Amino acid sequence: MLMRIGGREVGAGAGGWLDVINPATGEVLDHVPAGGREDVDAAVAAAEQAQEGWAHLTPRGRGKVLFHGAEAIRAVHKDLARTLTQEQGKPLAEAVDEVRGCANVLEFYASVSGCLAGDFIRLGAPGDGVVVREPVGVCGAIIPWNMPVILFGWKAGPALLAGNALVLKPSSTTPLTALAIAGILEKAGLPPGVLNVVTGTGDSAGRAIVAHPGIRKVSFTGSSATAPGVREAAAPFLKEVTLELGGSDPMIVWKDASLAAAVEGAVRGRFYNAGQVCNAVKRIYVHEEIAARFTEELRARVGSLRVGNGLSPSVDMGPLQNPGQLERIEAQVNGLRDRSEGRILIGGSRLAGPEHDRGFFYAPTLVTDVDPGAAVLNEEVFGPVLPIVPVPDLDTAIREANRSRYGLGASVWTRDLGVARAVFDRVGAGVIWVNRHLTVPPELPFGGVKESGIGREVGMQAVSRWTRTKSLFLGW
Ligand code: NAD
């Protein structure tokens, strides 16, 4: 596929082409241009030309375009989902979920387009004050490979509603759905140049976006390891940077929890998208009174998961997205084994056999008898590996939950409102779920504390972050 700049398809320049690999088969699926500085220059120029006209539409006018875009995505959601499964690896049902989720996000921002408001402040004798919100202008958006469609919606929905123009870079390993959706939005009425997609690696296209003086804000979603470099590269231009980063979400299972619901919550929370979700369940703290039963039921359920090519309807979990990711997970589990930091209850290796040999498959893995200092409790494990830690009381559960450099989300599974309230009040995270994990509706702001990032996505708060205020003093 080709890049999309100023409403036109653009091929490769000096950088050449990048292969897009199907992670279930190892086969080359397509090629995209390895974009670089010149492409980002062209995209910024197109965005600058388009942004003013876009911002001059009424918010409801922009909302209408987003609404038509959402409808157009829904109309072809099966095709988009298939492409998503092929480039990313997730099971088709999850891909359909994600594509519909993207349409829902755009529709949510369309639905609030008539409600963008400023403030009116009575200043007394000197006069009155008015505060309006203006778009930032031309902005950059950089997204990772794990949820390329929903994260496209999370960036584009609020940014475009606020009146900005975007230069968006998908991950070099999952660029196809972003390119397809940008084309769909243009056909649905988005003026050319308002949303440009430059493909390429982080080192070339990504760095060029962060360092481009014409881009006034960069919204980055990716790893906590990459983020400081992004912030540093943006600093000389004093541009705003928001960072949505890694997580190591704890799930606290209290002794009165519905065991069936908690087991299903843990399976979905950890093994959805092969565990490659920023806010996946990455550590379980379970009350010791129910720990044995919970662990046994979870082991049986995890043992029944079918792992394979996501295009097959009987598959529950697909491959990891790329070979580097497979090696990282393998190294993390091997390291745990070598350092005797836990016992592998199930899984703990790559999957072999005709269905798995050519793809990047890792077995769903549970770890028990975990050493409190084990790396899997302290690092982000971005794959299907779940440590289970029994705890004697709530204070211990909360203390352990907080013992992390990350603070994206956390969940508590209980029927006791006091327990739920204590977790909500005392666990450091941007979102707390009660009897649920993972779900992020577009109405609720999402983002982390500590090394999980700076800023919030979705919700009305996200629109504010894609604007700046301008004050008016009225001296009557
Ligand atoms: P990554 O940081 O390697 O890459 C993310 C994006 O940044 C890619 O498009 C990449 O090409 C680009 N990039 C890399 N180096 C860059 C640079 N120097 N300058 C500019 N751009 C650069 O992350 P990843 O491995 O693709 O994604 C997985 C990570 O993303 C995990 O840590 C996960 O938790 C996190 N994530 C966070 C959220 C959230 O909302 N908090 C959502 C999804 C994923």
Q: For residue 242, is it left (φ>0), alpha (ψ between -120 and 50) or beta?
A: beta
Query: Which phi and psi angles does 252 have, rounded to 5°?
Result: -100, 120
- Residues in CB range of 141: below 8 A, 6 or more apart: 155, 156, 159, 166, 167, 168, 169, 218, 219, 220
The residues assigned a catalytic role are: 155, 244, 278, 457
Q: How far apart are CA 413 and CA 167, in angstroms?
A: 41
146 lines ligand 1 (CB under 6 A): yes
Cα–ligand 1 centroid distance for 223 (angstroms):
4
145 lines ligand 1 (CB under 6 A): yes
Token couple for 184: 């769909």
pLDDT of residue 125: 85
Residue 5 three-state SS: strand
Token couple for 154: 């999370």
Cα–ligand 1 centroid distance for 304 (angstroms):
31
The residues of the chain scoring below 50 in pLDDT are none
34 lines ligand 1 (CB under 6 A): no
244 lines ligand 1 (CB under 6 A): yes
pLDDT of residue 179: 98
Q: How many residues does the chain have?
A: 476
DSSP β-bridge partners for residue 386:
366
Rounded alpha-carbon distances, angstroms, from residue 456 to 108, 280, 408, 431: 16, 17, 11, 11
Cα–ligand 1 centroid distance for 433 (angstroms):
24
Tell me the CB-side half-sphere exposure of residue 277, using CA atoms within 13 A. 25
Cα–ligand 1 centroid distance for 459 (angstroms):
21
DSSP β-bridge partners for residue 351:
none
Which of 18, 32, 98, 142 is the best mutation target for the ligand 1 pocket, counting ligand atoms within 8 Å of the beta carbon and taking the most? 142
Nearest-atom number in ligand 1 for the CA of 380 is 32
144 lines ligand 1 (CB under 6 A): yes
pLDDT of residue 298: 98
218 lines ligand 1 (CB under 6 A): no
Cα–ligand 1 centroid distance for 231 (angstroms):
13
